Structure 1
Amino acid sequence: MPFNLKKNTINEFHKEVIRKYEKRPFLYFVDDEPISYAEYGQKVTELRKKLVSLGLKKADSVVLLGPASPNWAISFMSVMSAGFVVVPIMEDFPDNDINHIIEDSNCVAAILAPSYVEKNRLSSLSDKILLSMDDFAVLNELTLHHDESSLTPFTDHCAYLTLEADDQGCYATEPEDVAELLYTSGTTGFSKAVMLTHNNLVTNLYEGTDLIDECFDENAILMSLLPLAHSFGSTSAFLSTMYKGPRICFLKRKPTPEYLQTVFKKVKPTILGGVPLIFEKIFQKKIVPVIESKKFLKKAIQFSPLLRKGFYKVAGKSVMNYFGGHIKCIIIGGANFSEQVETFMRDAKIPYLLGYGLSETSPLLTFSTLKESRFGSVGKAVRNTKIRITHRDASGIGDIEVTGPQVMKGYYGKEDETAEVFSSDGWFKTGDRGILDDDGFLYIKGRSKNVIIGSSGENIYPEVIEILLSSTLLIEESIVFLEDQQLKALVYPDQDLFFSQYAGDSQNSQFQKDMDDLIKDINRKLPLSSRLTKFEIQKTPFEKTPTRKIKRGLYISDY
């Protein structure tokens, strides 16, 4: 049940977490000993006081830029609980985008990995107070000057300039104050900044984990494979799980299948969180090759549900062992999930849950439970949240609109763009299309702006085709779009297979034949209007957002 807080602010939430779990182990790197919740609380207080001593005032914005780590988590909580506005930035963003965010957010300070300073990579840092994320040491000498010219949309009056922090390094904060400025990982142009209030975050962080309470006890260990600077990582994988008092383990370097296998064996996590791509790749690398190597098995899986379930159940034990053997649930969100992989996880009895949300909604809108879920669905609306489907087509699929306490205050400095994403009666337009069943389960079909209108006026969802393509051994990833009134796939081959069997030559006759056969096989699974007529090879990996979505605007004309 949600905490009974005096008011819905991050600091009140933080204090209750420390009070409830102070003696439990909390944050740690693989191979290190965890610090306790009490030690974490002390580090948060120390950092808040340091920021105040450097001259930061209520509602000043502070950038976080660095890898997921205990110190990233400490920084995140310190900034918000002090009454400042946190601005997390994805490490994967190009330097040009990072400079844009630093300048656009009007930040006065940054807590960052020292490498950004040592290499002089970011020109926008020259007039900011800089602290090392390694040890919170101050990296430069700078004096802040606050006056009316420094007002931002977070502070539309000058009264905050006279406020004093208390002896814990906290300014008085209200639920409707902005807590986080989150730059969306859009697929076109510069990111927009989402303003999330304390109330947005606190009301949303209870959702999800309350529905899987059976997965949390004093021995629970979360390993999140999500970036912390993304809303799913910071809210759902940090704040929401912190509410239940588990240990949270961080990787020391970027994950590879080999490194992850070693880590899972050491850590033995009970809860995993990640984007669909991670689990789809595990299926592709561990299960698909076995199926493809045996014609009888391949046909049996296609035509005999009983034999398929039997094979998947056996294979599932191997996958559970790969994860360390102690998994109670796997939380998946951030993108569409392959039906083939979901079928495997369901048949294999791997405990998984799907959720849905956006940066603009803090993020969680829907979630499932281990006892109540439906194949292909991202679950039901979470507490105090309503979903409606507008502009439906003949099949009932339409635009997903929502209302609830988690919906953002607006886009920072962009009143017109904020107005565009709200209906006349105040519902938020998600930009996704989907359908609700009679019991309230939501099924996502694709992004509204990705929908292709067929020659007869029918809606074609390219994501459906792309998932089928990427579920094959030969294709790593793909995008589908309309070109000269024909459906075309731009595909990036699986590099191991491409070079081992075809010498990396896309003109290889056997490669061309295998691709033709693959497209024919995919088309047999699609309605006539959604069938591919041509393909082209992408020679380099697609550029992606932090949640591994391809930046379509870079590859599709007039997107």
Structure 2
Amino acid sequence: MIQEKLIPYLVDSIKNYWDLPAFTDYPGKASTYADVGKRMMWLHRLFEASKLGKGGKVALVGKNSGNWASLYFSTITYGGSIVPILINFSPEEMTYIINHSDAQILFISRDKFDSIDPEQLRRVQHIFSLDDFTLLYSHNESLFKTIKPLQETADLHNLRPEEMKVKDVCDNEDTAAIIYTSGTTGFSKGVMLPHRSLLANLIVAREMLLFKEGAKVLAFLPLAHAYACSFDLLYPFTRGNHINFMDKLPAPKVLLGAMQDLKPNVVLAVPLLIEKIFKRQIQPTIEKPAMKVMLKIPGVKSLIGKKIRDSLLTAFGGSLTELVVGGAPMNAEVELFMKKIRFPVTIGYGMTECGPLISYCRWFEHRFESSGKLVKYIKCKIDSPDPVKIPGEVLIAGEQVFTGYYKNDEATADTIKRGWLYTGDIGTLDKDKFIYLKGRSKNVILGPSGENIYPELVEQKLDNLPYVMEALVLERDRRLHALIYPDLEALDKEQIPESRIPQLMEENRMEVNKSLADFSRIAKIQIVNEPFQKTPTQKIKRYLYS
């Protein structure tokens, strides 16, 4: 059982780093930890005027920003439950989540406020702008007549760290956040994360991630997702880091430009971003005929590898000690190349229901095709007669595990059984507690003689072929079909006409089938004209195409 408490941990972080820069809406001005502390105390007064009680729900809709982060910490330290909502949800989905969560207060960016109808929000009493915290809508505006803007509140304006007193009203089983997932199945459920789950992730990060105190952090993944929220916000906040927020997932060129400016030492990313950098900047070079020959010469091969690694490290700002990839499977070919040149990349595994971390290890300890090693507090077993060799469903227990789905006892009972969280992921676990994932149980396709086909592994092979941007493998008429979105930029660069795409993709089909078992070979290719729709961690929403 974890003895530490989350609220004192967060408040002490503000006091300890009072004069250091805390948040920047990149590339804007920085606000200090003192500014965050004063804003927190002001928001607590706002909550009190709103008659928000312990465990009261505060919904939050908006892009990554310092205000987003300030509201997140203020709600939790007040004793409320924060309900962060992804901005790519439709207005109808947002309305459903706000209502289902029983949110009493809503903070929303003005551009999103214009798309919802306040009269449809059943329990919401007050709506505030996330942009400047002004009141947008209320059932009782008179409650806030005594609340002056922060800049006009003299006692907070002159607040000193030793005067900042926040009562810890929560225990570790109280709900800190309710996160509504945007998964690949299309059904959104409210994951209740207790204080202990966030604390467990925080303690693991403190012992393993080793962000330099006061270092700059670049937060570009959506904070409404557990992965980014825990490791781009919660943990670095407790290290006195200067967190720079980008309001959307940037294109590789924009991201690398920000890296040059901020020079972060640890970066969190999703595989798709790294795979795009590999495909655009590395693959064209190493596949040139002359380069292929040189890469076969041992001494020359190591020199070329070092040059590519140094070039990549420079592109990431020159101070990178580790690139942590998570949220989706990593392409095996890209991973293998990064290992060969000893680029400091590692792969972790988690899920929202664990807040999120399940497995991780430092890059120099990472094993090829694994998703890292089970972290502190996590227990795991594989539902298989031979967990090392025969894949089975991954079952998890430990401090990180959520308490259940909000107002959905049936889904909770289907997921937590006899004290174990049934993840829906299929994998193996070696004797050293490294986990190897094969795919999702609901995605597994049965071959003609009952063989298990993991479409994600076939997709990885397709993604490595020329002129393929991304692929999706499905079962249709008892055969495997591959939907492919072509790499239009590569085709344009080589001046290949659109009329040749079907022929090129058929050649790719024949090529990939050479490396596949007969029961998992692709029968047909279908070319799609738009990128596949994805979750915030860039996993394809498969249900839209089945």
Q: Do both proteins adopt the same fold according to a TM-score greater than 0.5, normalized to the shorter chain? A: yes
In structure 2, distance between residues paired with 1:128 and 1:305: 69
1:212 correspondence with 2:206? no
Letter in structure 1 aligned against 2:197: N
Name the structure 1 match of 2:173.
176
- Equivalent residue in structure 2 for 1:515, among 498, 505, 515: 505
| Matched ranges for 1:213-362 at <5 A | 213=210, 216-251=211-246, 254-292=249-287, 294-298=288-292, 309-362=302-355
1:389, distance to aligned residue in structure 2 (A): 0.5
Cα distance change on mapping 1:533 and 1:392 into 2, 3 Å: farther
Contact 1:523 1:532 in 2 (8 A): yes
User: Aligned to 2:348, what secondary structure does the other structure show?
Assistant: strand
Matched residues in 2 for 1:402 and 1:42: separation? Answer: 40
C-alpha separation in 1, matches of 2:140 and 2:465? 57
Q: Compare 64-73 and 261-270 and name the one that shifted more.
A: 261-270
The alignment status of 1:110 with 2:103, answered yes or no, reads no
Number of the residue aligned with 2:161: none
Say if 1:188 and 1:434 are closer, same or farther in 2 by CA, change over 3 A: same
**Gap runs ≥5 in structure 1:** 146-166
- Of 180, 189, 192, the match for 1:192: 189
Given residue 17 of structure 1, which amino acid in structure 2 is its aligned partner?
Answer: S
Name the CA distance, whole Å, in 2 between partners of 1:246 and 1:96. Answer: 37
Report the Cα offset of residue 332 of structure 1: 0.9
Quick one: structure 1 residues 169 and 61, their matched pair in 2 at CA, closer, same or farther if it must change by over 3 Å?
A: farther
Distance across 2 between alignment mates of 1:115 and 1:532: 44
Q: Does the aligned pair in 2 maintain the 1:40–1:74 contact within 8 Å? A: yes
Aligned length: 524
SS in 1 for 2:469: strand
Correspondence for 2:463: 470
Look up the match of 2:405: 411
Distance 2:344 2:320 in 1: 8
Distance 2:350 2:50 in 1: 37
1 CA distance for matches of 2:512 and 2:302? 22
State whether residues 342 and 375 of structure 1, in contact with CA within 8 Å, keep that contact through their aligned partners in structure 2: yes
Of 121, 138, 141, the residue aligned with 1:141 is 138
Counterpart amino acid of 1:518?
N
Structure 2: which amino acid aligns with 1:495?
A: L
How much does 1:380 deviate?
A: 1.4
Counterpart-to-counterpart distance in 1, 2:119 and 2:416: 36
Cα distance between partner residues in 1 of 2:38 and 2:398:
34
Aligned to 1:550: 540
- Structure 2 residue 384 is the aligned partner of structure 1 residue 391: yes
Identity %: 34
In the TM superposition, residue 501 of structure 1 has moved relative to its aligned partner by 5.4
Q: Is the 8 A contact 2:85 2:224 kept in 1?
A: yes
* Contact 2:60–2:84 under 8 Å retained in 1: yes
Name the CA distance, whole Å, in 2 between partners of 1:486 and 1:427. 35
Matched, 1:430 2:423: yes
Can you give the 5+ residue segments of structure 2 that lack an aligned partner in the other structure?
A: 143-163
Q: Distance in 2 between matches of 1:217 and 1:494?
A: 39
Q: Which whole-Å deviations, capped at 9, do the CAs of 1:164-221 have from their partners, x for residues lacking one?
A: xxx96767222111111111112223301111111121122221341132xx323422
Aligned to 1:162: none
2:125/2:138 contact within 8 Å kept: no
Cα distance in 2 for partners of 1:304, 1:191 equals: 52
Change (3 A) 1:234 1:102: same
Check 1:112–1:537 CA distance in 2 against 1; reply closer, same or farther (3 A cut): same
Superimposed CA distance per residue, residues 59-96 of structure 1 (whole angstroms, 9 cap, x where no aligned partner): 21111111111111111111111111110111112222
**How high is the TM-score relative to the length of structure 2?**
0.89
Q: Which residue of structure 2 aligns with residue 154 of structure 1? A: none
Q: Do the aligned partners of 1:502 and 1:511 also contact (CA within 8 Å) in 2?
A: no
Relative distance call for 1:493 and 1:306 in structure 2 (3 A) is farther
Which of 129, 134, 142 is the aligned partner of 1:132?
Answer: 129
Code of the residue aligned with 1:201 in structure 2: it is L
Per-residue deviation, residues 370-394 of structure 1 (Å, max 9, x unmatched): 4422111111111121111113579
Q: Is the 8 A contact 2:220 2:247 kept in 1?
A: no
Conservation of the 8 A alpha-carbon contact between 1:61 and 1:87: yes
8 Å Cα contact 2:91-2:116 kept in structure 1: no
Corresponding residue of 1:534: 524
Decide whether aligned partners of structure 1 residues 45 and 482 sit closer, same or farther in structure 2, where only a CA change above 3 A counts. Answer: same
Q: How far does the alpha carbon of each residue in 1:217-255 deviate from its partner, in whole angstroms, 9 at most, with x for none?
A: 234222133210000011122112223332211125551
Counterpart of 2:423 in 1: which secondary structure?
strand
Partner of 2:88: 92
SS in 2 for 1:28: strand
Q: Is the CA contact (8 Å cut-off) linking 1:361 and 1:408 kept in structure 2?
A: yes
Cα distance change, pair 296–484 in 1 and its aligned pair in 2 (3 A): farther
Q: Deviation at 1:280?
A: 0.7
Q: Deviation per CA, 1:285-334: give whole Å up to 9, x if none.
A: 11112234x22434665x67776554333222222221111111111110
- 1:482 deviates by 1.5
Task: Report the Cα distance in structure 2 between the residues aligned to 1:232 and 1:139, rounded to whole angstroms.
Answer: 31
Aligned equivalents of 1:457, 1:306: Cα separation in 2? 47
Judge conservation of contact 2:344–2:364 (CA < 8 Å) in 1: no
Partner of 1:53: 49
SS at match of 2:63: coil
Pick closer, same or farther for the CA change 1:479–1:252 going to 2, 3 Å.
closer
1:208/1:367 contact within 8 Å kept: no
Q: How much has 1:19 moved relative to structure 2?
A: 3.5
The separation in 2 between residues aligned to 1:442 and 1:191, in whole angstroms, is: 27
2:313–2:320 CA contact under 8 A, matched in 1: yes
User: What's the TM-score once normalised by structure 1's chain length?
Assistant: 0.87
- Report the aligned-residue RMSD: 2.6
What is the identity, as a one-letter code, of the residue corresponding to 2:405?
Y
Question: Secondary structure in 1 aligned to 2:260?
Answer: helix
Tell me if structure 1 keeps the 8 A contact 2:190–2:405. yes
| 1:437 to 1:224, Cα distance in 2 relative to 1, 3 A | same
The equivalent of 1:497 in structure 2 is 490
Aligned to 1:481, which of 474, 477, 502? 474
1:525 and 1:280 map into 2 onto residues whose CA distance is 21
Separation in 2 of the partners of 1:260 and 1:337? 19
Report the more deviating stretch, 220-229 or 240-249: 240-249
Q: From 36, 40, 51, give the equivalent of 2:36.
A: 40
The offset of 1:345, in angstroms, is 1.9
Match of 1:101 in 2: 97
AA in 2 matched with 1:541? P
- Find the aligned partners of 2:293 and 2:483 in 1 and give their Cα distance: 28
Question: Offset at 1:16?
Answer: 2.6
Per mean C-alpha deviation after superposition, the further-off stretch among 280-289 and 251-260 is: 251-260
Aligned to 2:160: none
2:86 and 2:32 mapped to 1: Cα distance?
Answer: 27
- The Cα shift of 1:422 comes to 2.0
SS at match of 1:533: strand
Q: Deviations over 1:441-490 (max 9, x none)?
A: 11111101111111122211111111222233411111112212211111
